[in-house]
A and B are shown apart, each in its own frame.
Chain A
Amino acid sequence: MKTLSRENLNLWLDGLAAQHALIAPHLEAPGVFYRPVQRAQEIAWEAGRPVLSAKEFLFPPSERLLKVEKRGPDVRLEASPSAAPQVIFGLRPCDARGIRVLDTAFVDTPPIDSRYASRRENTLLVGLACRSMGASCFCTAVGLAPDDPRDMDVMFSDRGATLAVQALTPRGEALIANLPLVEELGEVEPASRREVGGLPTAEAWKESYSDARWAKHGERCLSCRLCAYVCPTCRCYDVRDEALPSPPGEAHFERLRAWDSCMREGYRLTAGGHNPRAASGSRLRNRLLCKFVYYPHQYGPAACTGCGRCLDACPVNLDLLEIGGALQEAAQ
């Protein structure tokens, strides 16, 4: 295997941060978050999975789609600039998978979302394997593993004084081409994994639509949307025009998109007052079926990477493994 000394890794990361945006796990008061860092020193190495996913670097919480300038009856439109290069380092396999899942909707399925595509083309994914699974992790239940390198450009595995490196894509190979890698005998020790079962098949999820327990589960739900905001793959958004400071005689606006979630009570409320998902149980059911039935139907993969953030974040312990397990039992 190829390895890199810790010292050389830090030098390299410092160099990357100087050239373009380097995003890495960073310790803040409430926990570790993926954040832009200026130096390798700022990276939190011993962290488990960061509190939020890395999706905000491809799909920001809010961003401009276009600018609108009105002068009397006339209008002028201006497109948004393309994205700057960035490297996401220390990415966990579940979060890399999250980005791949979003790719299938935004880039692989036409028409291409040019905002997302612009960022994606300019982003390199450099992963750090997990050595073990956290208490709420269930990546193995969705066919992933804590050290799965598949969705990365480059993957590092921390062995203490050195890190093992592998390039998975041509861009990844180019990225590490000039690193002083050392060829070492042996293999990277696989991460310790825990098999987690209990997720129903897509068919079983789909058939659960009329199960009376959805209403019961929904009773406890606060529609707080934390599950969607911490999730690596939730991607629903709202679009609206909002005012900008304008020169006299003109009215300037930007057309924004911002994160929204199907768990919000008013998500499907139409101007006429009709709301097909006014009941919280129907929203909960929609979100989980979207992850395991609707998203795969439209774009290919299931929209869940088993990161377990929703299990930690939910204030009232709504647990998709528990819900799925119960549905599976009922189906048998």
Chain B
Amino acid sequence: MSISEAMQSAARDVLASGQVQRVIGYETGPHGRVRPAIIDRPEEAERLVWSADCTHNLTVYLHRALTGENGRASREAVAPPARVAIVVKPCDSRAINVLLAEHQFSREQVFAIGMACEGMRQGAPASAPEATLQARCLRCRERVPVVHDVLLGEPPSALPEALPDEALAHVRDLPPAERAAFWLSQFDRCIRCYACRQACPMCNCPTCLFEQEDALWVGMRIAPSEKRTFHLGRALHLAGRCVGCNECERVCPMGIPIGLLNRHLAETVESLYGHRAGMQPVLSPVTGMLSAEESAP
């Protein structure tokens, strides 16, 4: 049985048995592009696929799938599913831990179909078959999701030597003034579409700080000052939480190396606090929690 077939079988089973009411996985669109698929019925399981084009981080759908916000085109309320199955790669699975630590949902609500991952190709979700693996995959040290209820595929017995992160080394070694100039010039290309934020599972504030109508922190202008504040602020908010799925960088139409900035902060948090996002369902040490008593005036 191929891995795709094993995945289809697993999805069919959990839906048919009523263990879950919804499965979030991948399918191939009519033009050969892999995309997320959200299915409710066992018969739909045959749509699911697994390949080196499955680059999306599907955990971005978890919260809204579990609150019934999804699957609507009107104000009719839809009863949220009690449990959702989701296909996760090792990087995606770490996002589940981050979201669990932040009480976005409970462990019982998620059935993780873990994939032993051999990496995603450059150009995914519509890569050429001969394309090399993405740089992030060549650097990756995980092959087995840290959260899984079932594991599909064979993890390798030994890992190849990891590709060094040259881009990060370069940025890290720049003198502060040059590094600042580099990043600020990158942010200046931004068009404030917020696709990076929408694609990120960890960006889930009901109202984004950088888009508040009262413009308390950042105004509406699409101009350098606002763009820089957004990117720097978002990177700080993700420090210790980002799992390096690189969706932010993939979706950016302007080619801003957002993933690189997040990796730099992730490396900083790891070296200062020994914390790597999502290896366990624990909060990032850089995240503060305000209780009701603490925030009282």
Which residues of A are interface residues toward B (Cβ below 8 A)?
28-31, 51-52, 61-62, 212, 214-216, 218-220, 222-226, 229-230, 238, 240, 242, 256, 258-259, 266, 276, 278-282, 284-285, 313, 315-317, 319, 322
* Per-residue interface assignment for chain B, residues 52 to 86, with 1 indicating a CB less than 8 Å from any chain A CB and 0 otherwise: 00001000110000000111111100000000000
Q: How far is the CA of A172 from the CA of B179 in the complex (A)?
A: 46
Tell me whether A258 and B255 are in contact in the complex, defined as CB-CB below 8 angstroms, given that A220-B36, A222-B198, A279-B73 are known contacts. Answer: no
Q: Is B240 an interface residue (CB 8 A)?
A: no
Contacts of A230 in B (CB 8 A): 253
B71 with A223: CB separation less than 8 A? no
Given the interface pairs A62-B221, A62-B222, A220-B35, the reply to whether A281 lies near B253 with Cβ below 8 Å is no
Known: A219-B38, A229-B191. A315 touches B247 (CB 8 A): yes
Number of A-B contacts (CB under 8 A): 120
Find chain A residues with CB under 8 A from B263 CB: none
Contact B195 A266 (CB under 8 A): no
- Indicate which residue in B38, B72, B73, B253 contacts A30 across the interface (CB closer than 8 Å): B253
Instruction: Tell me whether B105 is interfacial, beta carbon within 8 Å.
Output: no
Q: Nearest chain B CB to A237's CB is how many angstroms away?
A: 10
Contacting pair A222 B71 (CB below 8 A): no
The secondary structure that dominates the B interface is loop
- A218 CB contact (under 8 Å) in B73, B189, B199, B220: B73
Residues of B near A259 (CB, < 8 A) are: 222
Q: How far is the CA of A30 from the CA of B60 in the complex (A)?
A: 25
Tell me if A317 and B255 are in contact (CB < 8 A). Answer: no
CB–CB B56/A315 < 8 A: yes
Whether the pair B56, A316 counts as a contact (CB closer than 8 A) is yes
The DSSP consensus for interface residues of chain A is mixed
Chain B residues 237-254 with CB under 8 Å of chain A are 247, 250-254
Interface residues of B (CB under 8 A from A): 29-31, 33-38, 56, 60-61, 69-75, 125, 189, 191-195, 198-199, 207, 211, 213, 215, 219-223, 247, 250-255
B220 touches A315 (CB 8 A): no
Q: How far is the CA of A259 from the CA of B247 in the complex (A)?
A: 23
Cα–Cα, bound, A30→B253 (Å)? 8
Cross-chain contact of A281 among B71, B207, B211 (Cβ < 8 A): B71
Q: Which residues of chain B come closer than 8 Å to A223, judged between CB atoms?
A: 198
Is the CB–CB distance between B192 and A61 below 8 Å? yes
Specify which of A52, A216, A285 is in contact with B191 (CB 8 Å cutoff): A52
Instruction: Name the residue of chain A whose CB is nearest to the CB of B60.
Output: A222
* Structural contact, B35 and A242, CB atoms closer than 8 A: no
Partner of A226, one of B30, B219, B220, B253: B253
Contact A280–B70 (Cβ < 8 Å): yes
Shortest CB-to-CB span from A77 to chain B, Å, is 19
Contact B199 A281 (CB under 8 A): no
Specify the chain B residue showing the minimal Cβ separation from A213: B73
Q: Is the pair A282, B72 in contact by a Cβ cutoff of 8 Å?
A: yes
A284 contacts which chain B residues (CB < 8 A)?
73
The one of A52, A256, A322 that contacts B221, using a Cβ cutoff of 8 Å: A256
Other-chain contact of A62, B29, B34, B38, B223 (Cβ < 8 Å): B223
Partner of A225 from B75, B194, B223 at Cβ < 8 Å: B194
